[in-house]
Amino acid sequence: MTLDNSPATGTSRPTDAEQARAVADRLPDLEPLRSGPRTAVSAAVARKLFRAAVRRLAVTVVEEPTGLTFGQGGPVMRVHRPDEFYARLGRDGLIGFGESYLTGAWDADDVAGFLTVPAARIATLVPGSLQKLRALVTHRTPSHQVGTEDNSQANISHHYDLSNDLFSLFLDETLSYSSALFDTSLVETRDTDADTDQFLVAAPPEGAEVGDPRHHTADFAEAQGRKIERLLDEAGVTDGSRVLEIGTGWGELAIRAARRGATVHSITLSVEQLELAEQRVAEAGFADRVRIELLDYRALGEDGATYDAVVSVEMIEAVGHEFWGTYFQTIDRVLAPGGRVAIQAITMPHDRMLATRGTQTWINKYIFPGGFLPSTEVIDQITRDETGLRLTGRLSMGSHYAETLRRWDETFLARREDVLDLGFDDLFMRIWHFYLAYSRAGFASGYIDVQQLTFGREA
């Protein structure tokens, strides 16, 4: 599918190849190996720690050309160039691990399957006595990527302004770039320490098959629609509701809210998404009900507008931990009396959030600059301490994100020639395959989760 998202002004847009070259120019350089005593020592330490960790895991690692094999058996990783692999791992930690995949120093037939195993035990792979040394190999968030008003649009543009045509190659027909909610007859209720009315856990999707990976199956689009409709239900969106959406995506939520009879104000920092979302809204016949604006969330409320419902899908991950309070204070400020809030958020365990706060990861460097995942606990704490909002409901659906990512990745790889025809290159393919597989492993292992969180005002 080719998307006609040319501006109405008639000005020419960059060609696909020009846009892809611009993307390549924004990618960080893969630094060559640095020699010297520090590299030698860190590589030796990394080799010892990696082998010790793998020997406790249900995986198989084969070092070439010696054929040395270790691990307890399971998904196979082949280290083609051990010296490079351990040097990058020792110098740059998990960023170096990812970069050594990009250079081809290691590979796996099933990258997600292999990564899922260590992801499930990531907090204990390195001995506790050595955890204090992580600062030596952990990079800090660059100042130009901290989610300030000056930096946020560049952070968002880095990913979401890649190419609408690129995203259309692997997303379903709704152009939803967030976790789907697959049909399930069982939703488990779990006790929780948080003071919520309800904590639900969606049963894992069963029997989900992609079929022909070159085409999107109807059940995927239905699952994406189910996710959106549930979020709108949680926010109480009905005929006449005034809805604020923080993070437009490509307009599917706004269209569905308008279809319910609501009026929608949707904000985004992505120029590419705004143009196509406006086009899709107009084609759906809701241009009179939906207003999409290029606006930072911090500017909301300056016009005195208030809303009956505030919804946001996987946008809080881009806010940055320094600004979570500002984000929820802004929502609190524009929420009308009696209003409700529903957000879909990717979350991580609270202890890991505290341990990794302020650090730069491979995902930050190559995919989402400035991004950081909150914990449910910190969201509950911030809203209690700094706003009148109270968390009233949670639905955990991490297994559904693992399935969503599986479908995206398989389709992305199957559309390889189409991606290259847009002007992207083999390195970009490798970066994105690793990103999708790495993310899938996080959800499949339970290390990260995605949740729909509902908030009301304190009585």
Q: Tell me the average pLDDT across 412-441.
A: 96
Cα distance between residue 212 and residue 220, in whole Å:
13
Q: Is pLDDT above 80 for 320?
A: yes
Q: What is the CA angle 267-268-269, rounded to 5?
A: 140
Task: Tell me, yes or no, if the pTM score tops 0.75.
Answer: yes
What confidence tens digit (pLDDT) does each residue in 234-252 have?
A: 999 999 999 999 999 999 9
**pLDDT grade for 180, boundaries at 50, 70 and 90:** very high
DSSP class of residue 64?
T
3-state DSSP percent of the chain in helix, strand and coil, to 5: 45, 15, 35
DSSP H helices, 55-148, are 82-102, 111-119, 128-131
What confidence tens digit (pLDDT) does each residue in 60-74 have?
A: 999 999 999 999 999
Tokens standing for residue 263 = 């009026």
**pLDDT grade for 427, boundaries at 50, 70 and 90:** very high
Q: Tell me the average pLDDT across 200-220.
A: 67
Higher pLDDT, 58 or 28: 58
Share of the chain above pLDDT 70, in %: 84
Hey, what amino acid is at 348?
Answer: M
Q: Tell me the average pLDDT across 157-186.
A: 90
Give the chain's mean pLDDT.
88
76-79 and 106-107 as β-strands: parallel, antiparallel, unpaired? antiparallel
Which pLDDT value is given to residue 18? Answer: 63
Return left, alpha or beta for 74; rule: phi > 0 is left, psi -120 to 50 is alpha, else beta. left
Which pLDDT value is given to residue 130? Answer: 58
CA distances from 257 to 179, 232, 280 (A): 18, 7, 14
What confidence tens digit (pLDDT) does each residue in 369-392 have?
A: 888 999 999 999 999 999 999 999
Q: Is pLDDT above 80 for 210?
A: no
Q: Is pLDDT above 60 for 419?
A: yes
